[in-house]
Amino acid sequence: MRRLKRSLLLPAAAAMALAMAAAGCAQSDRDGGGDASERNESDPFIFAGASNPRSMDPIYASDGETFRVSRQTTEALLRHEPGGTELEGALAEDWEHNEEGTEWTFFLRDGVTFHDGDEFNADAVCANYERWNETTGMAQSSSVMYYWNVLFDGFAENEDDDMPDSNFVGCEAEDDLTVTIEIEEYSARYPGAFSMAAMGLLSPSTIEQIPDDPVGGDSDDPSLPEYALDDTIAGTGPYELVDWDHGSEEVKLERFDDYWGDTANIREMIIKTIDDETARRQALEAGDIHGYDLVAPADVDPLADAGFNVPERDVFNVMYLAMVGDERIEDDHPDRLEEAEALADKDVRTAIAHAVDRQRIVDTILPPGGEVATQFIPDTLSGFSSDVTTYDYDPDLAREMLEDAGYEEGDLELEFCWPTDTTRPYMPAPQDIFNVVSNDLEEVGITVNENGLIWDDYIPYTEDGACSLYLLGWTGDYNETYNFLGTWFAGYKSAWRFEDDDVFDTLDAVNAEPDDEARIELYEEANEAIMDYLPGLPLSSSPPSIAFAEDIDPPTVSPLTQEDFAETSWAE
């Protein structure tokens, strides 16, 4: 009996012993690719993003994870200063525009080469812009070339009659290092558009292999072109693309030694995907990665206390509580009429603004660096006004205003929506934020009817203004206030359902004003007009946190999450 048991358990014991022995051997081989005490520039730097990049050619993407990769491999004409939001030259050293804002001249950087050896010059710039504008077929859809649609409206030959004409008129090489891009009509999208990661420039040789109609597959099954999904693109960035292993969800980048600026400190960078924020933290703690983005607010302090580097980004987003009040809602949602009528009353909206303790949200929920928002843009943007009407936390005043408006305790019932299954850089813990706001509203006598929705339901529901109150926000694409205000308040939008000529006219004016100083003044006016009208309550701006291993000297962190990983190095 005893002998038999031994013989049966032998394979199991052997397997366990093998695993433990292997663990001993492998332990020294891990810690993210080497012994932490003997780091050198040839050890790969492994960073985890939250989802897979969509394409190595950034023009086909609209998401931060793709741009995180493409910003290391390709560059646009302009960029934002390290750690800040001011535009500065990237592949262009300087730029200017005519008085109408329709001709943008860029003075290009000399001595820049693409990863494949092609020379960077004015012709290369035009080759890129003309290629984008002349794209045909399904690639014109905003689900493929989202940012071209957003920034330049249409294409040389639109496939869809409903699509607006292209705002891109042409590109001319004045000489080798001077290029002029002409647009049909100035708008506040420029020059920010020339800094977008989606506008990362590819080498002429790469462009030659791209078909005019790049999206393949049949009409219901569009597929991206092969070159966008492999490792053949050549840009000018500090890192060149070596391999994109789809199976391992791993993008491998290698230092570009002929980079025009400071070459990368670490030779090899690997960007992996871990979509769960807890799993990302655990991978950092276990030494399997050396950095990750979108740290959960609750993890920030424990990671810092444990010795990890958790540098604080400046804020570049805003979260708000929308208050949808317009009797016209009856056409779409008759059941919402009573609530809309209540919220159409400015005093009710003001009472709600005074009822919410925004400082508590910042102090107890947001990561360090979070701020109460006084208007619908973060204070890092030009056009931020210090003269807006403010609404301090004052529950007694809120109660009083509601009574004056004819609402006794419990009379006012409002549906309040929040997203149940997602976090956003500006909204790191939706349920906690909902709970605070909702309790504050109940505290002043408002009856809150909670409506938690999954993100895919939430967006269409809120886009339609179907909730009286809801939480949402935005992280800016580039330093232009219109990128925030224009999105929400340039005309009547179903998501807000408010009508205020002061606001609409000011935003129309600002969108047509190419002079920087005049535009900033108009933005300040717009912010003041919006906060006077109070279509919603700006709640907070919060820095999305990023974390690195103890032995990493992190790059300068960017409020726009545009870190240049070439600055990263192993700590001495």
Partner 1 sequence: MSRFIVRRLLQLIPTLFGLSVVLFIWFNRLPGGPEFALMPENATPEQREQMREILGLDEPVAVQYMKFLGRLAEGDLGVSIASGRPVLEEFATRFPATAELAILAILIAVTLGIPLGYIAARNRGRFLDFAAIGGSLLGICTPVFFLAYIFKVIFAENLGIFPSAFRQSAGLNATNITGFAILDGLMTREWDAALDAFMHLVLPAAAVATIPLAVIVRMTRGSVLEVLSEDYVRTAEAKGLHRQTIRGRHVLRNSMLPVVTAIGYLSGQLLAGAVLTESVFAFNGIGYFIYQATQSRDYPVVMGFILIIALIYVLINTLVDISYNLLDPRVRVN
Site for partner 1 in 239-298 (CB under 8 A): 246-250, 252, 268, 270, 272-276, 279, 282-283, 285-289
Residues contacting residue 23 through CB under 8 Å, at least 6 positions apart: none
Among 212, 335, 456, 550, indicate the residue that binds partner 1 (CB under 8 A): 456
Nearest partner of 355 among 412, 394, 299, judged by Cα: 394
> Residue 527, SS3?
helix
Asked whether position 12 contacts partner 1 by CB under 8 A, the answer is: yes
DSSP string, 253-304: EEE-TT-SSSPPSSSEEEEEE---HHHHHHHHHTTS-SEEEEE-HHHHHHHH
Shortest distance, position 378 Cβ to partner 1, whole Å: 15
Shortest distance, position 530 Cβ to partner 1, whole Å: 17
What is the DSSP secondary structure assignment for residue 330, as one 8-state letter? G
Judged by beta carbon, residue 297 or residue 419, the one nearer partner 1 is 419
Judged by beta carbon, residue 289 or residue 323, the one nearer partner 1 is 289
Asked whether position 306 contacts partner 1 by CB under 8 A, the answer is: no
Judged by beta carbon, residue 273 or residue 569, the one nearer partner 1 is 273
Encoded one letter per residue, x for contact with partner 1 by CB under 8 A and - for no contact, window 471-490 reads -x-x------------x---
Encoded one letter per residue, x for contact with partner 1 by CB under 8 A and - for no contact, window 22-51 reads xx-xxx-xx-xx----------x-x----x
Among 39, 49, 52, 78, indicate the residue that binds partner 1 (CB under 8 A): 52
Among 105, 136, 141, 382, indicate the residue that binds partner 1 (CB under 8 A): 141
The residue count for binding partner 1 (CB under 8 A) is 77
Shortest distance, position 386 Cβ to partner 1, whole Å: 26
What gap in Å lies between CA 489 and CA 504, rounded to an integer?
7
Shortest distance, position 111 Cβ to partner 1, whole Å: 31
Asked whether position 424 contacts partner 1 by CB under 8 A, the answer is: yes
Among 2, 11, 40, 334, indicate the residue that binds partner 1 (CB under 8 A): 11
Identify whether the C-beta of residue 40 lies closer than 8 Å to the C-beta of residue 201. no
Asked whether position 492 contacts partner 1 by CB under 8 A, the answer is: no
Two tokens at 506?
């000011």
Identify whether the C-beta of residue 441 lies closer than 8 Å to the C-beta of residue 414. yes
Asked whether position 138 contacts partner 1 by CB under 8 A, the answer is: yes
Q: Report residue 168: phi and psi, to 5°.
A: -90, 120
Two tokens at 298?
């609750």
Stretch that binds partner 1, among 165-173, 220-228, 311-319, 431-439 (CB under 8 A): 220-228
Among 161, 221, 305, 408, indicate the residue that binds partner 1 (CB under 8 A): 221
Two tokens at 272?
């992996």
Judged by beta carbon, residue 54 or residue 131, the one nearer partner 1 is 54
Asked whether position 68 contacts partner 1 by CB under 8 A, the answer is: no
- H/E stretch holding 16 reads helix 2-27
Q: What percent helix, strand, coil does the chain show, rounded to 5?
A: 35, 20, 45
Shortest distance, position 44 Cβ to partner 1, whole Å: 4
CA 161 to chain CA mean position, Å: 30
Question: What is the greatest pairwise CA distance in the chain?
Answer: 97
DSSP-H helix ranges across 370-500: 395-404, 430-443, 455-463, 482-489
Sheet holding 168-175, edge to edge: 92-97, 103-108, 178-183, 168-175
Judged by beta carbon, residue 118 or residue 288, the one nearer partner 1 is 288
Judged by beta carbon, residue 66 or residue 236, the one nearer partner 1 is 66
Shortest distance, position 229 Cβ to partner 1, whole Å: 6
Among 123, 312, 330, 457, indicate the residue that binds partner 1 (CB under 8 A): 457
Stretch that binds partner 1, among 58-66, 313-321, 429-437, 442-450 (CB under 8 A): 58-66
Identify whether the C-beta of residue 409 lies closer than 8 Å to the C-beta of residue 325. no
What gap in Å lies between CA 203 and CA 118, rounded to an integer?
6
Residues 493-532 touching partner 1, rule: CB under 8 A, are: 494
Identify whether the C-beta of residue 201 lies closer than 8 Å to the C-beta of residue 128. yes
Residues 145-174 touching partner 1, rule: CB under 8 A, are: 146, 149, 160
Shortest distance, position 124 Cβ to partner 1, whole Å: 26
Two tokens at 119?
């020379």
Encoded one letter per residue, x for contact with partner 1 by CB under 8 A and - for no contact, window 366-405 reads ----------------------------------------
Shortest distance, position 270 Cβ to partner 1, whole Å: 4
What gap in Å lies between CA 449 and CA 438, rounded to an integer?
9
What 218-227 contacts at long range (C-beta under 8 Å, 24+ apart), as own/partner pairs, is: 219/138, 222/138, 222/141, 222/144, 224/54, 224/55, 224/60, 224/144, 227/56, 227/57
Judged by beta carbon, residue 20 or residue 111, the one nearer partner 1 is 20
Judged by beta carbon, residue 58 or residue 445, the one nearer partner 1 is 58
What gap in Å lies between CA 50 and CA 383, rounded to an integer?
32
Asked whether position 459 contacts partner 1 by CB under 8 A, the answer is: yes
Judged by beta carbon, residue 43 or residue 528, the one nearer partner 1 is 43
Shortest distance, position 194 Cβ to partner 1, whole Å: 19
Residues 308-327 touching partner 1, rule: CB under 8 A, are: none
Strands (E) across 402-519 are located at 413-419, 447-453, 469-475
Alpha-carbon separation of residue 379 from 66, 130, 530 (angstroms): 27, 36, 16
